Chains A and B, each alone.
Chain A
Amino acid sequence: MSNGAGAGPITLRVEFSGLCFYMIHDPERNTADPEDRNRGMAKKFAILMPDARKTRHPVHADGYAGDPHVGYVRFDLANLDLGDTGVAPGIVEDDVGRPRNEIIHRFDGEVLDFGLGDGQVDVKYDLGLPSFNKFADTLRPIDRLFDAAPPSDLLMRTVLSDGEISATGSGKIWALRDKLNGKPNADPYANQFAGYSVWNRTLQDPRLTVTIRKFDGTAVARIPLKAVPVRGLDGDVKSMITIKVANLCSDNPLEWRDDFAVRTVDKEDKDFKWLYRLMEPQKALRTDYATLLGQSQLPYPEQLGVQAFGDEDCIGGSFTTPTPF
């Protein structure tokens, strides 16, 4: 084929990295079970980004300031379906990789639409990410996150359909305090948490148009993409479209790790506090963050004990609900 894609199924591979809030509608899952893993089949699976840019007020609900982040979507120029660009695709590895030629769109209150039918098919998920249900069960997502005029704290949202999304933690054990739980945890909420997730979906059509538009539907940008042969670290060559969606510290946010040091979380991930901008205390509690917290800080991943082995990117968080959203 002239576009370089071979016959057979195409893999759409999207990495979500950093400050992402995963909203999951899964009526089958019992999040109250202490042995429950953050996995299942989601009727709806949405990923939202808090606006953590330097233009936002940096002080969190606990009175501490957060570092700025930038949210963006990155395409590999080799995937751009605008004739033969002559560029080779980047390496694909666990965290999608390092294309030499990148197309970046910085989010600014937008919907990312993969053009695959929002939420029409269940999404299999297995997320090694902190679950707000486990350590902050007094909270709920703020209203109107999926409206045409959502709260200003929302930078980006997207809804997945079909495929499998997974996030695997490694190395250090991170724990989150239970200050925002209705009742204290009997055991610490801790695990090896991940700094990114990867969504893989099989496509039959080697062409895909990704759309970025404002929440109100205006200012539409259409990105035509095509699958190209990509060689993975395992030596296998697959026809792929690779995309990275990230909300990362404004210190080497593109993670050009061949060129600069990549910032990783060390001992604590206070950037996690940005995620609380998309949450609020349950209305029935008639309270606010300040009352719930007292003098405490918003819970964030803290290294459990003294450990020196394994680092992560900024860690995202998830919220699972049996109620459709």
Chain B
Amino acid sequence: MSPFSGSSAAVPQSGDDWAIEQTHFTSASAMPGMTNRPVALIDVGDGNGGLDHPLLRDRTTYVEMRLKRTPIEGYQLHGAHAAEVAGVIAQRCDAKLIVYDIGTTAGWDEELFVLALQDIINRDPRPAVVNISVGWGQEVPGAAALIRDCIEKYGISVVVAMGDDGAFTDIDWYPATQSGVIAVAGTDTNDLPLADSDTGKHVWIAAPGQDIITVVAKDELGTRNGTSFAAAQVSAAVWHAMRSNSGLTPAKIKQALGDSAVNGQADKLPHGLREKVQDTGWNIAVGKGRLDVAKFLDDVVGVVRSQPVVVKLADSQPTTPPGDFTVPPSPRSPDSQAPRL
């Protein structure tokens, strides 16, 4: 099934969405699937109707984390950010989505963030990837160990937006700063670093973050800007990889994302900025480069589409594949491990 086929007529047609085309998400439609672990989003806002959009309605579970704690500080946050981020993922993959709303009118709640991470770890099946398009100016107590467990113990990739308060600021957003996560910056329609995207030594990869088409209301698509939506695209790419090869570890996925990224954005920057960014195959603006889903999936899953191979399913999978799924098991070829500088 095409990743877009579950999305009804509301999906932008080819040619409409520059970000989907530039990152070659359309090629992911040809990827065979094996597992179907969900994508979890830790975000803010009740969607304000957006979670009822046809793209999201039948595949999204909304978890109002506010109700999981007493006494409750603040009221429910009414807003669309969570639905907007979910809408980006939904246009790029078939994944079931679990949306954790950690926002209250008293703020983006640190304790609820920790509770959401715990819930993700305890879910069955565990999500393949967690998208975090929120952040704090300092580490959230109790979160670091849970994020580390997600990545190292439970095979859950953690994708985090870098933040949008501009380049060369003093603030580094958590959990984008945590080791092991995939910290995502934004690029613009010229494939340059997005003006408001945060920079930092922790950035790993970038993805389009300008004029990104997504759900903005119950029956409406619109465009949004920012690293929140860049991260969502990387999360969708990770989901495709995990669906096709459930044996991949978050570390391998992260490495492959970086190795397959399209580099050179920094070379296109004007003098002044270019020297600040100092591109050496990795740079503080876009990390290893901009997401390229086709290269990533070719590398990480090793698909030879003309010669599909039936693979042995992972232990956790049913002994008989549902349908005629055929997936090549081969890892990336050794030479493709080399960074593309």
Contact = CB atoms under 8 A, between A and B. Distances in A.
Contact of B173 (A169, A188, A191, A308): A308
Contacts of A93: 221-223
Contact of A128 (B79, B133, B135): B79
A217 interface: no
Interface string B102-119: 010111100000000000
B283 interface: no
B133 A190 contact: no
A192 B221 contact: no
A149 to B, nearest CB: 39
Contacts of A259: none
A173 B220 contact: no
The CB with the most chain A CB atoms within 10 A, among B80, B222, B224, is that of B222
| Residue among A93, A173, A304 with max Cβ neighbours from chain B (10 Å) | A173
A307 to B, nearest CB: 7
A137 interface: no
A315 to B, nearest CB: 13
B134 A309 contact: yes
B28 to A, nearest CB: 20
Interface in A256-275: 261
B107 A305 contact: yes
B164 A233 contact: no
B44 interface: yes
A311 B108 contact: no
Contacts of A169: 45, 48, 78-80
Contact of A170 (B79, B161, B198): B79
Interface string B55-95: 00000000000000000011111111100100000000000
B105 A310 contact: no
B16 interface: yes
Contact of A233 (B79, B80, B213): B213
Given A235-B13, A310-B226, A168 B216 contact: yes
Given A170-B84, A308-B171, A310-B226, A192 B79 contact: yes
B221 A232 contact: yes
B50 interface: yes
Given A94-B217, A234-B221, A306-B137, A128 B74 contact: no
A308 B108 CA distance: 12
A166 B218 CA distance: 11
A105 to B, nearest CB: 25
B81 A310 contact: yes
Interface string A287-313: 000000000000000001111111100
Given A173-B103, A235-B16, A309-B228, A188 B164 contact: no
B139 interface: no
A94 B221 contact: yes
B168 to A, nearest CB: 14
A112 B59 CA distance: 43
A37 B78 contact: yes
Contacts of B79: 128, 168-171, 191-192
Contact of B45 (A95, A170, A308): A170
Contacts, number: 133
Majority SS of interface residues in chain B?
loop
Given A128-B79, A233-B221, A308 B164 contact: yes
A322 interface: no
A267 to B, nearest CB: 9
> Which of B9, B80, B171, B213 has the most CB atoms of chain A within a 10 A radius of its CB?
B80
A168 B164 contact: no
B136 A306 contact: yes
A252 to B, nearest CB: 14
B3 interface: no
A232 B45 CA distance: 25
A147 interface: no
A129 to B, nearest CB: 11
Nearest to B10: A234
A166 B228 contact: no
Contact of B108 (A187, A236, A307): A307
Interface string B210-244: 00010011001111111110000000000000000
A190 B80 contact: no
A311 B225 CA distance: 9
B163 A192 contact: no
Contacts of B137: 306
A34 interface: yes
Nearest to B222: A94
Contacts of B44: 173, 192
Nearest to B134: A309
B67 to A, nearest CB: 13
A34 B161 CA distance: 32
27 contacts: A35-B76, A37-B78, A93-B222, A128-B79, A168-B48, A168-B49, A168-B216, A169-B45, A169-B78, A170-B45, A170-B80, A170-B84, A170-B216, A170-B224, A187-B74, A187-B106, A192-B77, A234-B9, A234-B221, A236-B9, A261-B195, A306-B171, A308-B171, A309-B134, A309-B227, A310-B81, A310-B228
4 tightest CB-CB pairs across the interface, nearest first?
A192-B79, A94-B222, A308-B163, A306-B137
Interface of A: 34-35, 37, 93-95, 126, 128, 166, 168-171, 173, 175, 187-192, 232-236, 261, 304-311
Given A126-B49, A233-B12, A234-B12, 9 more contacts: A94-B216, A94-B223, A170-B81, A175-B105, A192-B77, A232-B221, A306-B137, A309-B228, A310-B226
